[in-house]
Amino acid sequence: MSGKFEEKIKKYRTAPFDARFPNTNQTRNCYQNYLDYHRCNKVLSAKKQKTTPCEWYRRVYKSLCPIAWVQKWDDQRQSGTFAGRI
Amino acid sequence: MAHQAHAMLYSVDPSPSPLTGAVAALLMTSGLAISMHFHTTTLMSLGLVLLLLTMYQSSRDIIREGTFQGHHTPPVQKGLRYGMILFITSEVFFFLGFFSAFYHSSLAPTPELGGCSPPTGITTLNPFEVPLLNTAVLLASGVTVTSAHHSIMEGQRKQAIQSLTLTILLGFYFTALQAMEYYEAPFTIADGVYGSTFFVATGFHGLHVIIGSTFFAICLLRQAQYHFTSDHHFGFEAAASYSHSCLMSYDSSFTSLFTDEAS
């Protein structure tokens, strides 16, 4: 299973179509993957497991999100003012 | 035929009220802007005083024309009814704008809010506490105002005065409760779009309740002075329609603004 996942990551070019976000405004797509990456990290680290499966979310949000948004959210997470639930 | 119908209508005498009302509006709006930049409320207060004077004079003139001079014949009354209906309709649309603002932000909450509604960090009010009591108070005032109306139509002077007084007291009770809620609320108007939409919508609503109470207070004074007859009491009916629409806007606020899972 991890073999197929690693293959998928290796063949990654850009974020694929996600039927959950069918419209032109992809803000939610970016935000959801950002949240999912950090939630995935948090949960797996807490269970002392490898965080490799979280890589997918990181790739997607890196493809989609404006860098300024990511920087702003990272700063907010650091200062404890991030509004999303992670 | 045409000039027969004309005899039932009347032209009002020239009045300064439109001018003073317009000047009051100008002074109040520009005064509001000035108060925010230069920290002085003089202009706005002047406008408010002029507004109150205009309200007093114009309503006194209308009462004189209708009750004392007999100009409010059936076609005239019909025109007044149309006017009130149109005005109330415009008020409904005014409130619809604020509801639309609330739903715009709450149905698709942005990342800035935490992607959730109510937004992160907002402790909402429990709708089943004071808001529910307020709903009950307004509904009760709807009952008392209907009772007052029937008393007027039946020519029962004392009962009409009692029901009207009770209606006004309920209006004051609502205002007092709402003022307390405002003081005790865990969030302010500055707390993001939630705070803004909440306080602007409920604030304008509260202002309308105060206006309704004032209108009924005038009606109480007039009823006490034998202005209303069992057939002709349009001033009272106008106040009742206005307050009923105000009540309905609170009911809608109750189901949307106050609930915890805001859609």
- Shortest CA distance from B121: residue in chain A: A83
Both tokens of residue B175? 């205002």
Q: Which comes out higher in pLDDT, residue B247 or B49?
A: B49
pLDDT higher than 70, residue B49: yes
Candidates B75, B71, B234, B87; CA nearest to B152 is: B234
Percent of chain B predicted with pLDDT > 90: 89
Number of H helices, E strands in chain B: 8, 0
Q: How far apart are CA A2 and CA A23, in angstroms?
A: 32
In this prediction, residue B248 carries a pLDDT of: 87
Distance from CA of A82 to the nearest CA of B (A): 8
Q: Which amino acid is it at A46?
A: A
Distance from CA of B263 to the nearest CA of A (A): 18
Was domain A25-85 assigned CATH 3.40.50.1980? no
Distance from CA of A31 to the nearest CA of B (A): 7
CB contact under 8 A, A85 and B116: yes
Displacement of CA B15 from its chain's centroid (Å): 25
In this prediction, residue B1 carries a pLDDT of: 46
Under 8 Å between Cβ of B249 and B95:
yes
CB contact under 8 A, A84 and B114: yes
| Helix or strand holding residue B179 (H, E) | helix B157-184
Q: Does B112 reach chain A within 8 Å, measured CB to CB?
A: yes
In this prediction, residue B111 carries a pLDDT of: 97
DSSP state letter for B65: I
Q: How far apart are CA B82 and CA B86, in angstroms?
A: 6
pLDDT higher than 80, residue B15: yes
Q: How far apart are CA B69 and CA B58, in angstroms?
A: 15
CB neighbours (10 Å) of residue B241?
Answer: 16
Distance from CA of B55 to the nearest CA of A (A): 48
CB contact under 8 A, B120 and A83: yes
- Shortest CA distance from B113: residue in chain A: A83
In this prediction, residue B8 carries a pLDDT of: 79
Q: Does B113 reach chain A within 8 Å, measured CB to CB?
A: yes
User: Which chain B residues have a beta carbon less than 8 Å from that of A31?
Assistant: 111, 115
Q: pLDDT tens digits, residue range B58-113? A: 999 999 999 999 999 999 999 999 999 999 999 999 999 999 999 999 999 999 99
Displacement of CA B247 from its chain's centroid (Å): 9
ipTM for this prediction: 0.90
Mind listing the domains of chain B with CATH numbers? 1-71 (1.10.287.70), 72-260 (1.20.120.80)
- ∠ CA(A67), CA(A48), CA(A64), 5° rounding? 20
Distance from CA of B110 to the nearest CA of A (A): 8
Q: pLDDT tens digits, residue range B242-260? A: 999 988 888 888 888 877 6
In this prediction, residue B237 carries a pLDDT of: 97
Residue B150: phi and psi, rounded to 5, are -65, -40
Token pair 């007027």 is at which residue?
A: B152
Q: How far apart are CA B174 and CA B74, in angstroms?
A: 36
CB contact under 8 A, A27 and B114: no
Q: What is the largest CA-CA distance in chain B?
A: 69
Distance from CA of B111 to the nearest CA of A (A): 7
Q: Does B225 reach chain A within 8 Å, measured CB to CB?
A: no
Domain boundaries of chain A, sorted by first residue: 25-85
- In tens digits, chain A (86 residues) has pLDDT values of 578 999 999 999 999 999 999 999 999 999 999 999 999 999 999 999 999 999 999 999 999 999 999 999 999 999 999 999 99
Q: Does B110 reach chain A within 8 Å, measured CB to CB?
A: yes
Residue B130: phi and psi, rounded to 5, are -60, -40
| Nearest neighbour of A85 by CB, restricted to B110, B112, B114 | B114
Q: Which of A20, A23, A27, A76 to mutate to test the interface with B (most CBs of B within 10 A)?
A: A27
Q: Does A86 reach chain B within 8 Å, measured CB to CB?
A: no
Q: Does A68 reach chain B within 8 Å, measured CB to CB?
A: no
**pTM for the full model?**
0.90
Residues contacting A44, CB < 8 A, separation 6+: A50, A51, A53, A54
**What's the per-residue H, E or C state across B21-55?**
HHHHHHHHHHHHHHHHHHCCCHHHHHHHHHHHHHH
Between the two ends of chain A, the Cα-to-Cα distance in Å is 27
CB contact under 8 A, B115 and A73: no
